[in-house]
C-alpha cells in the first residue's frame, strides 16, 4: 500500500495512477478513494496522473481519535501534495471533498494549483443560519448523528438506496451494486471519524476560502440533489468564486459520479484540456 505520514503520525493511503498532468480527487462522506474509481480510470486512461486518497479515518487510512475536522483534512492534503512534490495540479472535490479542497486553497493558496473543481460539493455552508437561510436545519444533521450512533450500517444502506443516488425517485434505475459499494465503503470508515465528519462537512463555513480561488474553477451540481441542495451549495459557490464555470445537471442526484458518470467524465476531460 502507498501511504504518507502526517505530522501527528496518521497514515494516509493513496492511489497513484497514470502519467501526465496531475489530478487529485478528494472523496465524500463516508466513502473513500474507491468512490472515484470511474473517473480515476477514465482520466488516467487519457494521459493524466490521477491521485486519490482516503481521508483520515476513512478507508485504508489510520483512524485517529482527533483531527476529524476541515483544517486537519486540508493539512493532510497539503502533506500529500508536498511529500509527492506536486505542482500544476488540478484539485477536484466531491461533496465533503469539495470542502477539503476549498479549505486547502483557503490555507495554502494556489501556488501548486492550476485548476479546481467542486462536484456536488458542500461549500460555502450547508447549515441553515440567519445569514444562510437556504441551508439545511441542524435537525437534519442531528438525525444523521442519531442514525450513525444507533445503527450506522442501516443508515448507510438507507442513504444509498434512497436520496444519495436518487433511487427513491419515481422511475429511477436502481443499482444494487452501487448501493452495496456505498455501504461497504462506509463501513470501512472509523465510527468516531465518520461521526465527527458530520459536523465538519455541515457546520464549516467555506465562504472566505472560496474567495481565495484565483484559478479556473469548474462547479458541477445536480438540481435534484437531496443531500447537498444546489441553492445553498453549487449556485452559492458559483457566485463567490471568481469566473467560475457552473454546470447544472438537470434531474441529477448527489451521487452523480456514478449516476451521470459518462457526462461527468466528458466534462472533466474538457475542463482539463481547456
Which whole-number Å values give the CA distances from 175 to 7, 184, 223, in the listed order? 40, 14, 21
C-beta of residue 48 within 8 angstroms of C-beta of residue 20: yes
Which residue among the candidates 62, 120, 254, 267 is catalytic per the annotation?
Answer: 254
Which whole-number Å values give the CA distances from 93 to 27, 118, 221, 229, in the listed order? 6, 5, 12, 16
Q: Which residues pair with 94 in a beta bridge?
A: 119
221 is catalytic: no
**Position of cell 462536484?**
119
189 is catalytic: no
Please give the Cα distance from 248 to 197 (Å, whole number). 27
Which residue among the candidates 95, 121, 189, 202 is catalytic per the annotation?
Answer: 95
Percentage helix, strand, coil for the chain under 3-state DSSP, each rounded to 5: 45, 20, 40
C-beta of residue 238 within 8 angstroms of C-beta of residue 244: yes
225 is catalytic: yes
Which residue among the candidates 54, 76, 209, 225 is catalytic per the annotation?
Answer: 225
Please give the Cα distance from 260 to 159 (Å, whole number). 18
Catalytic annotation, residues: 95, 225, 254
Amino acid at each position: 500500500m502507498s501511504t504518507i505520514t502526517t505530522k501527528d503520525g496518521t497514515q494516509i493511503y493513496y492511489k497513484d495512477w497514470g502519467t501526465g498532468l496531475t489530478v487529485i480527487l478528494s472523496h465524500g462522506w463516508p466513502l473513500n478513494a474507491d468512490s472515484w474509481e470511474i473517473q480515476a480510470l477514465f482520466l488516467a486512461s487519457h494521459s493524466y496522473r490521477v491521485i486519490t486518497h482516503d481521508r483520515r479515518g476513512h478507508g485504508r487510512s489510520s483512524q485517529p481519535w482527533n483531527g476529524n475536522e476541515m483544517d486537519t483534512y486540508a493539512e493532510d492534503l497539503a502533506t500529500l501534495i508536498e511529500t509527492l512534490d506536486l505542482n500544476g495540479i488540478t484539485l477536484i472535490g466531491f461533496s465533503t471533498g469539495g470542502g477539503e479542497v476549498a479549505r486547502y486553497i483557503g490555507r495554502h493558496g494556489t501556488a501548486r494549483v492550476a485548476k479546481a473543481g467542486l462536484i456536488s460539493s458542500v461549500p460555502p455552508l450547508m447549515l441553515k443560519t440567519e445569514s444562510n437561510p437556504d441551508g439545511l436545519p441542524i435537525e437534519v444533521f442531528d438525525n444523521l448523528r442519531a442514525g450513525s450512533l444507533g445503527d450506522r450500517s442501516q443508515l448507510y444502506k438507507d442513504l444509498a438506496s434512497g436520496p444519495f443516488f436518487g433511487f427513491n425517485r419515481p422511475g429511477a434505475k436502481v443499482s444494487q451494486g452501487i448501493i452495496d459499494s456505498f455501504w461497504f465503503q462506509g463501513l470501512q470508515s472509523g465510527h468516531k471519524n465518520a461521526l465527527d465528519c458530520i459536523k465538519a462537512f455541515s457546520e464549516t463555513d467555506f465562504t472566505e476560502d472560496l474567495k481565495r480561488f484565483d484559478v479556473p474553477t469548474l462547479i458541477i451540481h445536480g438540481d435534484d440533489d437531496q443531500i447537498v441542495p444546489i441553492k445553498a451549495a453549487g449556485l452559492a459557490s458559483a457566485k463567490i468564486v471568481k469566473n467560475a464555470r457552473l454546470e447544472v445537471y438537470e434531474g441529477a442526484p448527489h451521487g452523480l459520479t456514478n449516476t451521470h458518470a459518462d457526462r461527468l467524465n466528458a466534462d472533466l476531460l474538457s475542463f482539463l484540456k481547456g
